[in-house]
Structure 1
Amino acid sequence: MKRKIAMGALLLSALMFNGCSNDKDSKDVGTAKGKDKNLSVFLVFNGMPLSDEWEVYKKAEEATGVKIKSYASKNNTDSTQAYNLMLASNDFSDIIAYRVPDLEKLGSDGGMIPLNDLIDKHAPNIKKFIEENPLYRKDMYSLDGKIYAIPTYYDLDKLSVSSGLFIRTDWLKKFGLPVPKTLEETENALTIFKEQDANGNGRKDEVGIFVRGNIQAALNNLTGIFGARPYKTFYVENDQVTFATLDPNFKDAVKLSADWYKKGLIDKEVFTRGWGARDAVLPTNMGGMTLDWFGSTASYNSLSTGQIPGFEFYPMEPIQIKDGVKSVTVGRNTTPEI
């Protein structure tokens, strides 16, 4: 098991960094070393098991000659349960993509093989990346000086904002409304969506604001729309460390959330839909507004090609809640996630 996890992290990273090389180098790697090779990957993220048919893996196979196969069953949407079942079976995938709660402790306790020597001997691209990026190198090493996994890194300068507000702009056009910029304009738009049958099906089934996630994530996104920081975070203000729930903006955001919920402007199932909220309300032509990842949420505009003609779900600027307070925007972590 130890070897599988360690090599899995290395192999996954090797594929990633080979894919970042020029086209000629990538094809040479695939044809010379990776031809007819298969790698099984354990990945269940946000209730969704990896699919062999995802385009990203088809492109990876074209570039490297390595075919990715899903290990987890398509019916297993609980990542923790699926992970524990794999451990109990004593039959592991080649690559394991799973968020270990305390990776460093697992490594220091002997649960993982350090990658330092393997990187030095077999991963020149990763080694070069470490040498050329001291900020990321600092994040990669554990306190004991060992590397137990290759984190996912982002170009923080270009991805400083990765999540924000979306609204049904086709519905705004239908009623001659501008893209809302203030709290009052947003409330007016959502009220019209709901009361004037925005989806045109003759029923008042439109969902104004919806958000994804477990209760904590849903609460953070919901109150974030009203200008509050995530409720379990500490932050520095005026050289003082404080806690998000002590901020008056958080209390105001909770009050606004409760008020809009009573008015029917927030999804009645906001805390029970879970991570599948977008799939529940966008393809069914009911959802009006959310706060979510730009990349994945924008992909739902493909619904316009057949399922919902004219569908537009586009990003909007943070709305003005009050003087000095706007809806939050969310950036990628500056520390790695494994």
Structure 2
Amino acid sequence: MTSGEAPPRSLAKGRAALTNETPRYEAFARENTCDDWPGDGEEPPVLRTEVREEQVRSAINRVKSPDLPFDRSLNPYRGCEHGCIYCFARPTHAYLNLSPGLDFETKLIARPNIAEVLEQELRARRYKVAPLAIGSNTDPYQPIEKEYETMRDILQVLARFNHPVAIVTKGSLIERDIDILAPMAERGLVRVGVSVTSMDAKLSRLLEPRVPAPARRLKVIENLTDAGIPVRAMVSPMIPGLNDHEMEAILRACRSAGATAASWIMLRLPQEVSPLFKSWLEEHYPAKIEKVMGKLRDMHGGKEYSSSWHQRMRGEGPYAALLGARFRQACARLGLNEDAPDLRCDLFEVPLENGRQMALF
């Protein structure tokens, strides 16, 4: 976008993305057209969420990233109705010939048989137990989970096998599954990361239009903690010049709610996420775009994003170092810098299948 051009107008009320660009693997571009141009001040149309179902053949994804503390993950859904404009998972929608823009927020893929497939994989003789990460790509407790209950089915399988699991979410719907999570936590099988991006309700609504408000997420931390479920506060992403000044306030609020550990990640803008985020800045915070993007380029060798191992999560340079130091000092003051105990793998056991009897010998 050149200077002097008007920022793009949102195509859909209540969504974060302003555009729905053609997926990068498509041979032909698509454009929205309208014969009757709306007048000034007219509200954009309501864009409804569409869900289609996918029957999966495998459940567990193997992960080979040195930046991540796990080697396997599971995704109950593709796409995410939470619609966080900064979501680094948006480019994955292009593999479905869908746009990482509005399609990512509105055209979702449910995977209702994934718990059944997971059970089959856990029963395989060659399976070796290790903690399973859920929510590292799209949120397992996004709004459509209320209807599908896929995550609840998954947890029931994991509980029967005594399989360790680490969950990341922004959704309050996780409280529904406390009856499963609390007994698992007693056995050292589960921990939860709750992401809190900002304490500013207005900023949060613009960044994450369909995510529970910050105060509600703090209540989630409190309720999980009261049930004996360990919670890590995830102060992510930190956006230079937008929410970075809130780091200590977010950590204090999460600690007061009961969080016992914390982590942080810098804003990441891979592939299509960069133009989507810049358009969002032009629409909502045009005076800050140069500061935000300038800081990001400073941390990535002049580029808006670098995918290099050990750098992509935090960036490099003085600003990244300063933010890291602030995080460490705040965690030390608040008692959030202690390492959580490892999830237990020694309790894993394959239960009998329905209708099967134990062998005598």
So what's the TM-score if we normalise by structure 2? 0.24
Instruction: State which structure, 1 or 2, has the greater radius of gyration over its C-alpha atoms.
Output: 1
Greater relative CO (CA pairs within 8 A, separation 6+): 1
